Chains A and B, each alone.
Chain A
Amino acid sequence: MNRIEKKIRQLKEQNRKALATYIVNGDPTPDITLAAMHVLVEAGVDILEIGVPFSDPMAEGPVIQRGHERALVHGTSLRDTLQLVKAFRQTNTDTPIVLMGYANPIERMGYAAFADAAADAGVDGLLTVDLPPEEADDLHKLLKQRGVETIFLLAPTSSEARIKRVSELAGGFIYYVSLKGVTGASHLDIGSVKDKLSVISRYSQLPVMVGFGIKDALSAQAVSSYADGVVVGSALVDIMGSGHSQAQILENLSAKAKSIRVALDQR
């Protein structure tokens, strides 16, 4: 069983919600990310999403854009990110890892080479923002054969026909984009999230994680009433880019993740 499925099943049995966090590999320096991943797991994070740095992160708001730019100063690449996962797996074999990024670095590496390397490193899922189901067939097949799930986005603008189509292809979980906008936006509307999630649940048995615009304990708690879990990104990338010492960054990261964990468990 894939680690994602196993983790979400466990949480369901405990009647708990999943907490997924997003940080960018190599942000602000290459030597911090592995430590940050372990810190997040210790703070109660269930799923680690690792951003693969890209020069043109079109779907990101300013906070995560800066994260990609900081990571690229040191040339952090997709290959480095696969190495990171491999290193993490030496001491942690059960926390699911999802790589999140853009199509071009994968295109450059080659789909088959990437699928092999991702499976070998211990990656559980891949979310490629600009590779919708229409364009994802080839990569999806290669990943599936190797036990890596393809995670797709659904959005407030997704029609029922698209929800159906995405549900047929998607694995791991559905990532529901809570608002029309970029990551880190602040106009989250819980009511509309609730309505759309009920439509999605008609077509998909997969767990639904909600992201974009969830920045603190309060918003996480509110959204989690209707979803299987939440994804927090910009709020953490903000901490990574704060310019503090590495020790201080890790401490703040841990505190933030814990506050959201506590809120999710107190529903």
Chain B
Amino acid sequence: MNETNIDFTNLPDERGHFGQFGGRFVSETLFYALDELQSMYDRLKNDPAFLAEIDKDLTHYVGRPSPLYFAERWTEKVGGARLFLKREDLNHTGAHKVNNTIGQALLAKYSGKKRVIAETGAGQHGVATATVAARLGLECVVYMGSEDVKRQSLNVYRMKLLGATVVPVESGSKTLKDAMNEAMRDWVTNVDNTFYIIGTAAGPHPYPQLVRDFQCIIGREARRQCLEQTGRLPDALVACVGGGSNAIGLFHPFLQDTSVAMYGVEAGGLGLDTGRHAAPLNRGVPGVLHGNRTYLMEDENGQISETHSVSAGLDYPGVGPEHSWLKDIGRVKYVSITDDEAMAAFRSLTRVEGIMPALESSHAVAYGEKLAAQLSKDDIIIVNLSGRGDKDIHTVAKIDGIEV
């Protein structure tokens, strides 16, 4: 990484663009709602009372700060750089998703809207949304592809226990992208009384910005904790990228620290050359979907491709627009890890550290191992452990041929 004078932190511009990416590609009906959301957020984002309320919730409800944990045995086993885990898996509801839903639910409360909707893939964002909705007494409807409803029955039941209505989506490929289409359709129809809580740093402006801002708590804490524990900044950061909210949350507070290398890990599925993966930054092209311009997986006619990953949370054909921009300017390197490599990392971390990572996070763990092996013992790597693996037990057991 060359020294540079670029300010990586002053985007998006006022129209929501990160270079050529981002923007607001939605039908006319939603403009008013996006304008309203943006002006409310612009007003609140520096309001001490609003920020104090989020802080209070993050501390006492979510359980932050999450630890930065030096994984000593794992480091020894890999035999390279020192590996630290940012423990987002220890948050209430078990993943980083809640950092964002706390913030957006508070915006919903300030907006006076009594109904929130969300899309979900693996169900983590759905659970995090249902959780904050229960706490604020808001009506909650979660859209989930019918394929995912089948694959993630545990999370579906959790959402129902929390009082949410889970709507299985039967259109298209019946997965996350279709759930997002359906949530948009609901929003267009119920725009007067409904707040749409988007789960990742994608979608029309201002969502990529506000989701990033809410997730930046990860990187702010990690930066401070690393300085406290080691007296210096890390040499590299590693995070998995589906839509990319945990990654942008970790990366963003370090973007101006040009000595810190960053690696976003996409889902390589069965291998990039098989076409059965979810790695738009590695193999996609820029296009328009779900309200923003970004790298997408699509065919030669511009139809969005179906994706594959062992982890439902990474199984998405697009990616947040800021990642597309960070790729093109070269600030972050985007790599990929296959299903098999992620599964091996899941088992390895579980056995060596007693920490069971989510299959999404296992992609970051796997790349962290590869990278650490290439670096020296003096180097420091922070791997974002974005969520815990309990939700994936059924998937792992199935691969092992065990019925649980």
Contacts and interface: CB of A to CB of B under 8 A. Distances in A.
A172 B27 CA distance: 18
Nearest to B15: A134
A157 B194 CA distance: 14
A262 interface: no
A55 B171 CA distance: 10
Given A59-B27, A69-B171, A180-B29, A54 B185 contact: no
B303 interface: yes
Contacts of B15: 134
Given A105-B301, A130-B25, A157-B29, A59 B177 contact: no
A154 B33 CA distance: 14
Contacts of A118: none
B184 interface: yes
A181 B303 CA distance: 24
Prevailing SS type, chain A contact patch:
loop
Given A130-B288, A157-B33, A158-B32, A103 B303 contact: no
B32, B301, B304: residue with the most chain A Cβ atoms closer than 10 Å? B301
A147 interface: no
Given A104-B304, A131-B25, A157-B33, A58 B298 contact: no
Interface residues of B, number: 40
Nearest to B178: A56
A60, A156, A157, A158: residue with the most chain B Cβ atoms closer than 10 Å? A157
A180 B191 contact: yes
A129 B32 CA distance: 16
Contact of B287 (A57, A60, A104, A180): A104
Contacts, number: 127
Contact of B32 (A62, A131, A159): A159
B28 A154 contact: yes
A182 B29 CA distance: 10
A152 B28 CA distance: 8
B23 A134 contact: yes
Prevailing SS type, chain B contact patch:
mixed
Given A109-B302, A180-B191, A185-B189, A58 B296 contact: no
A78 B29 CA distance: 25
Interface in B6-24: 15, 23-24
A107 B286 contact: yes
B300 interface: yes
Contacts of A77: 301, 303
B355 interface: no
A58 B172 CA distance: 11
Interface string A170-186: 00000001001110010
Contacts of B32: 155, 157-159, 162
Interface residues of A, number: 46
Contacts of A72: 303
B181 interface: yes
A44 interface: no
Contacts of A105: 301-303
Contact of A155 (B23, B28, B172, B184): B28
A182 B189 contact: yes
Nearest to A66: B171
A104 B289 contact: yes
B302 A59 contact: no
Contacts of A129: 27
A132 interface: yes
A158 B23 CA distance: 18
A157 B31 contact: yes
A107 B31 contact: no
B288 A155 contact: no
Given A130-B27, A153-B28, A180-B189, A58 B288 contact: no
Interface in A30-71: 53-62, 65, 69
A135 interface: yes
Interface string B289-310: 1110100101011111000000
Interface of A: 53-62, 65, 69, 72, 75, 77-79, 102-109, 129-132, 134-135, 152-159, 162, 166, 177, 180-182, 185
16 contacts: A56-B181, A56-B290, A56-B304, A58-B181, A58-B290, A102-B288, A107-B287, A108-B300, A130-B288, A134-B23, A157-B33, A162-B32, A177-B29, A180-B188, A180-B190, A180-B192
Given A58-B181, A108-B300, A108-B301, 11 more contacts: A55-B303, A58-B26, A59-B185, A77-B303, A104-B287, A108-B287, A132-B24, A156-B29, A157-B31, A158-B31, A182-B188
